[in-house]
Amino acid sequence: MLAEQEIIARFCEAGHLVDPTVVSYLRERGDPALISGILAGIRKDCAVVLPSHIPSLTPKRDGIRFTADPLLEVVEGMEGSAGPVRQIEDYVSLFRNRYDCLGSLIRKRSGAIPIEALTHSSRFRDSEVTIIGIVIDVKSTAKGHRILELEDPTGTMPVLFNNGRDGFSDAERIVPDEVIGVRGKPSPEGKLFYADQLFRPDVPVQHAPYTPKNSGKVALISDIHIGSDTFLQEPWERFCDWISGADDISYLLVAGDLVDGIGIYPGQEKELTIPNIYEQYDRLGEMLQTLPSSLGIVLAPGNHDVVRGAEPQPVIPPEFRSQYPKNCTFVENPAAVSIHGARVLMYHGRSIDDLIGMIPGARYEAPAEMMEAMLKRRHLAPTYGRRTPVLATEKDRLLIDPVPEILHTGHVHITGISRYRGVLAVNAGAWQSQTAFQKQMNINPTPGQAVVVDLEQMEPQIYDFLS
Ligand SMILES: [Fe+2]
Ligand SMILES: [Fe+2]
């Protein structure tokens, strides 16, 4: 196995810095000859060694694309696919499906043995092995190490990450219910597993986004909150005027909280200018009627919308849609939308609240870091049972598979952009100024902004309509 410091030192001696993705790739492979191969192929004046410098690692797209992709297609999360509330037993299928899908992504990079091979036999007691499972519990010990319980279909195993080992900061970010692989050695009695290395399903290092030609631009927004007394009417109108004249923008995607809703939190009625839920949706529909009919608009629900809160959330029902023009497409939360073949994964982002509460150093001001946390775990809401309600479904609809070109979220009302292994992560802000609740929580929103992405270049740009 290669240690992190050893890899960094080898590149440093040759006069190069090294990207953390390259370090984790080399650690996973554990082959020192790979470092020599990279060094042989790069120029002497190369400042930072990037994944593109790894020989034989050719850029690859994830998932199938077709040459004749329609302009706009709902690939996942079309009306009617969320299904009704099911039986409690279906949670078994949900977590089994999560384990199977994410476990197989890890298994592609590291062969693994079932946990029962450690608990029921002594064959592997002296060997370095990998096990893969769902984290059913995780906590820190009195001495600051990290201990977790890992479960696969054959058994459970306590796993210890020593805080003096390489990559401990990754272990500090392990959250309950995520699927991970760990490489290390079992204790002599087979009752504890000493972990040296952590594997997440992650986005492949060689992932390359699909960039459709002549596809124009897409505007990403979220959290309009029509009906709230903090809805920003004037910036919204400026945005509508602007997008009506922006001929190169062909699509407008909205990632939930279309309206402020009713009964979402105690005392909300005092903060509503439109107290009727039908009228809230009608008002948004009337506003969208003023936009060009050539603009493809995609509308997903969020936790303030009229549908059930458990995810996947169904589309806004027809009785609320009478005022909406024909160019509006209603989708579920989450939903995957293909635009000229580029896949945009829309998710409202409720789980960001949970991730911020569990990941050390996480802040509301940096929501894109939480989107990276989702991409690493290949899951939109890894932890069950906190603030993100998740429905029992046969298949886990919150998996990130295949890898999208763009991950589009909202919910925290703060704009954030990041690029992680070729995926553009955009948390769109809101059209609502700071609410009393946000003030109490010391959350400072960045309202009145739209993020426009040129699909051919995958380049984002923030437009501000606040002033
Ligand atoms: Fe919101
Ligand atoms: Fe929200």
Which one of the ligands is nearest to 445 CA?
Answer: 1
* Topology alike, domains 98-199 and 217-464: no
Beta bridge partners of 298: 253, 329
pTM: 0.94
Residues whose CB is less than 8 angstroms from the CB of residue 48 and which lie 6 or more positions away in sequence, other chains included: 16, 17, 18, 19
State in Å: Cα 428 to ligand 2 middle: 11
Which one of the ligands is nearest to 434 CA?
Answer: 1
State in Å: Cα 177 to ligand 2 middle: 22
Amino acid 68: pLDDT: 60
Residues with CB under 5 A from ligand 1 (ion): 223, 257
In the chain, which residues have pLDDT < 50? none
Amino acid 56: pLDDT: 75
State in Å: Cα 10 to ligand 1 middle: 48
Stated as kind and residue range, the H or E segment containing 345 is strand 342-346
Beta bridge partners of 254: 221, 299
* The CATH number fitting domain 98-199, selected from 3.40.50.2300, 3.40.50.261, 3.40.1550.10, 2.40.50.140: 2.40.50.140
CATH topology of domain 217-464: Purple Acid Phosphatase; chain A, domain 2 (3.60.21)
Amino acid 109: pLDDT: 85
CA distance 241 to 131: 56
The domain spans of the chain are 4-53, 98-199, 217-464
Q: DSSP characters for 181-245?
A: EEEEEE-TTSS-EEEEEEE-----TTB-----TT--EEEEE----BTBTTB-HHHHHHHHHHHHH
CA distance 297 to 304: 19
Amino acid 125: pLDDT: 82
State in Å: Cα 365 to ligand 1 middle: 15
CA distance 429 to 217: 18
Amino acid 178: pLDDT: 98
State in Å: Cα 407 to ligand 1 middle: 17
State in Å: Cα 77 to ligand 2 middle: 18
Torsion of CA 411, 412, 415, 416, to 10 degrees: -100
State in Å: Cα 58 to ligand 2 middle: 39
User: How many other CB atoms are found less than 10 A from the CB of residue 358?
Assistant: 16
State in Å: Cα 223 to ligand 1 middle: 4
Amino acid 85: pLDDT: 73
State in Å: Cα 226 to ligand 1 middle: 10
Residue 197's nearest CA partner among 217, 216, 171 is 171
Amino acid 244: pLDDT: 96
State in Å: Cα 464 to ligand 1 middle: 18
* Size (the chain), residues: 467
Amino acid 66: pLDDT: 65
| 8 A C-beta contact, residue 159 and residue 195 | yes
Which one of the ligands is nearest to 303 CA?
Answer: 2
Amino acid present at 101: C
